[in-house]
Amino acid sequence: MGKEGVWHDHVVTDAGLAKSLLDRKKSAGDGGKIFNTNYAKVSKYAKSLGTGIYSAKDLRTIRANEIAQEDVGTDPRNFSTDKERSEFIKSVAIKVSGVLGNRPKQALASYINPNVFDNLTVSEQKAA
Report the CATH number at residue 111: 1.10.132.120
Q: Does the reported pTM lie above 0.85?
A: no
> What does the pLDDT profile of the chain (128 residues) look like in tens digits?
666 677 778 889 999 999 999 999 888 887 778 888 888 998 999 999 989 899 988 999 999 999 999 999 988 889 999 999 999 999 999 999 999 988 999 999 999 999 999 999 998 665 55
Residue 117 per-residue DSSP state: G
**Dist. CA 28–CA 51, nearest whole Å:** 35
Within a domain: 117: yes
Within a domain: 29: no
Contact 80, 123 (CB under 8 A): yes
